[in-house]
Amino acid sequence: MQPLEWLKSRMGAREFEKLARIPDPRVHQFVAESAELCNPSEIFVCTNSPDDIRHIREQALATGEEKALNIPGHTYHFDGPTDQGRDRKATKYLVPRGDYLNPALNQIEREQGLSEVKGLLRNSMEGKTMVVLFLCLGPKNSVFTIPCMECTDSWYVAHSVNLLYRTAYEMFAAGETANQELFRVLHSAGKLDERMVSAEPSKRRIYIDYTENVVYSVNTQYAGNSVGFKKLALRLAIRKAHREGWLAEHMMLTGVRGPNGRRTYLAGAFPSACGKTSTAMIPGNTILGDDLAYLRNIDGVCRAVNVESGIFGILKGVNERDDPLIWKILHSPGEVIFSNVLVKDGRPYWLDMGIELPKEGENFTGKWWEGKTDEEGNPIPAAHKNARYTVALEALENCDPELHNPQGVELGGIIFGGRDSRAYPPVQQGYDWVHGVMAYGAALETETTFAIVEEEGKYEINLMSIQDFISIPLGQYLKNYIEFGRKLQKAPAVFGVNYFLRDLKTGEFVNNRQDKYVWVAWMERRVHGEAGALKGPTGLLPTYEDLRRLFKEVRGLDYPREEYTRHFTIRVRENLRKIERVVQYYKREVPDAPPELYQVLEEQQKRLLKVQAEAGDFASPDMFEEV
């Protein structure tokens, strides 16, 4: 029996007619296979009409997966106590026999993995509705476009998808997907408890079948595990980009305001909770994207698009003073989903929001009160550290007008940043493309954060802040980066930032949170040759005069020379140790690392040793010459 014929007997007439309008047989096949495996009581096809989108939102409330807050359009959702972040251990690549992925990547033999995850998905939607969603990654009608679809039994996940991505039912119905790769996601929250959260998190599995461009996710609701087009489909896009000669990246995109109304686009790769969204949301600039970007060489120019059209942002630390644009949207009528916050009297609260939190309320563990502890006696915070908000980008007043431009935007620069409390200065520029992407991207060393279900505070190499998602050999990924830059007529400038450098004596952060406003302004000026630089051993450093001027222009503050010296004194010994750790990692974990990596690090080591012989372990920026 043909899939469409089989589905006709399983679907209501209206929903079947919606699906039958789509001529792509791969769509019918995937919906039929998903329905046969998961056995839903109903199938709902979202056409992206206002009525269908409203129905999903209403069902999320009716089922209790979301609840309403006081501000119109605002809702909240809870994930289970152990379903609060990306789960590295449960996320695996399905690798066919005879194929090879780097041993550093979590993987399982394909047939074994399919048997396991399909066993968990079997009959998982009994008594529930399977929602079928059609979307596209990147703008429509573009060289960047990738059509995709998700089948899920979670109204919350479906609601989130509609806020985060460009809807594309019309594109599917018009037959425009026939000759394109199709990304597919099958998700089930599994059994739900009385709070409508996944009841069997120990059986959580997130498996990526890269041979078929399919993601399977079960027994989880956390959006990073269940909204398949975030980091899960990124893994598929990386393989597609590898074959076709472009880059699929974990990067924000922002339009930085320069002199005379100029807008310069910068991309930025940061691990989660390391400043990516706050950099994209600097007041006065525009936000084009906060998480995922595709980069292509178009006529010798590096152009980029936001894969998504919404934000799944971290709430911890968002406050009215430092994040006025986000704060405004979180306190104004409009469609926003809060997850894993504290709720009291219809209001959401999160950690470090700059106001006193209630002493009791409801949070991700149920009824909460100050002093409540978990099973091991540890205090339970009022809200989870990885509490999030989901909102459409176009709801923000600073949304960039080029969001849906099929040609993307020209990139002036790329930023790499992580949590490095010890070594790199707050901002620096690579000498050239290869030095920048190797010294700041490949050597990105960061402290793990609460966005991952794992121990916090461990240092690790996270190349390009994308290591968890790379589905090709890591060395090949670095080679692709080098070649991509070499083929451009003018490669973007490459910068390294570090918002988390600490004073070695006090342990306090050297940077103020708003200092990044100045660092980004300096980078914008460097792209256009309007700011000077000193040649430091790890990269080009800002001059004092430029920063003094920019601190006054951007923040209205004086910038004492002693503060400049504190920011940009090179910690020679710590940087030498960093190189040792990076080299050891690559020799151990990435045997196919390109020779350019070792060449860049060796030359950097020589420069540092020379500086150490002249100045000792701390080299003031005053000793470096202007270029």
**Residue 424 maps to which CATH number?**
3.90.228.20
Q: Are 353 and 315 in contact (CB under 8 A)?
A: yes
Which CATH number covers residue 384? 2.170.8.10
Same domain, 90 and 175: yes
Q: Which residues contact 103 (CB under 8 A, 6 or more apart)?
A: 589
Kindly report the pTM of this predicted structure.
Answer: 0.93
Amino acid at 244: E
Mean pLDDT, rounded, of the chain: 94
Residue where a domain terminates, one of 354, 373, 395: 395
Domain boundary among 355, 378, 395: 395
Which residues, other chains included, contact 90 with Cβ-Cβ below 8 Å and sequence gap of 6+?
204, 205, 206, 220, 225
Given this model, what pLDDT does residue 450 score?
42
**CA torsion, points 565, 568, 574, 575, in degrees to nearest 10?**
-150
Q: Is the pLDDT of residue 281 over 50?
A: yes
End-to-end, the C-alpha distance of the chain in Å comes to: 72
For residues 507 and 585, state if they share a domain: yes
Residues 22 and 137 grouped into a single domain: yes
Give the per-residue pLDDT at 492. Answer: 98
Q: Quick check: is 94 in a domain?
A: yes
Shared-domain flag, residues 23 and 166: yes
Specify if 77 maps to a domain.
Answer: no
Domain for residue 71, yes or no? no
Average pLDDT over residues 339-360: 97
Does residue 73 form part of some domain?
A: no
Same domain, yes or no, for 317 and 184? no
Looking at the DSSP bridge assignments, the partners of residue 349 are 342
381 shares its domain with 458: no
Q: Is the pLDDT of residue 449 over 70?
A: no
Higher pLDDT, residue 473 or 22: 22
Lowest mean pLDDT among 420-424, 442-446, 454-458, 574-578: 454-458
Q: What is the mean pLDDT of residues 486-507?
A: 95
- Output the CA torsion sign for 558, 560, 566, 567: positive
488 and 364 in one domain?
no
Please tell me the least confidently modeled range out of 8-22, 42-56, 273-287, 478-492. Answer: 273-287
Give how far the C-alpha of residue 490 lies from the chain's centroid of Cα atoms, to the nearest Å: 27
| Average pLDDT value for residue range 135-143 | 96
Residue 253 and residue 304 in contact, taking contact as beta carbons nearer than 8 Å: yes
Q: Could you give phi then psi for residue 230, rounded to 5 degrees?
A: -85, -120
Same domain assignment for residues 172 and 94: yes
Q: Residue 539: inside a domain, yes or no? A: yes
Least confident of 102-116, 333-347, 406-420: 102-116
422 and 488 in contact (C-beta within 8 Å)?
no
46 is annotated as an active-site residue: no
Are residue 377 and residue 469 in the same domain, yes or no? no
Selecting among 46, 136, 151, 274, the annotated active-site residue is 274
Q: What is the mean pLDDT of residues 279-298?
A: 95
CA 187, CA 125: separation in Å to the nearest integer? 10
- How many domains, the chain? 3
Neighbour-count burial of 403, counting CB atoms closer than 10 A to its CB (0-12 exposed, 13-18 middle, 19+ buried) = buried
Domain assignment of residue 475, given as a range: 248-308+403-621
Tell whether 449 and 494 lie within a shared domain.
yes
Residues of the chain with pLDDT > 90: what percent? 87
Q: Residues of the chain with pLDDT > 70: what percent? A: 98
Quick one: pLDDT band at residue 519, thresholds 50, 70, 90?
very high
**Residue where a domain stops, chosen among 332, 360, 395:** 395
Q: Is residue 33 part of a domain?
A: yes
Q: Region 552-579: what's the mean pLDDT?
A: 97
369-374-375 Cα angle (round to 5): 140
Do 573 and 461 belong to one domain? yes
- 442-451, 453-462, 603-612: segment of lowest average pLDDT: 453-462
CA distance 380 to 230: 28
Question: Among the listed ranges 77-86, 182-191, 198-207, 536-545, which one has the minimum average pLDDT value?
Answer: 77-86
209 bridge partner residues: 214
Higher per-residue confidence, 454 vs 362? 362
Task: Please check whether residues 366 and 413 belong to one and the same domain.
Answer: no
Answer yes or no: is 78 within a domain: no
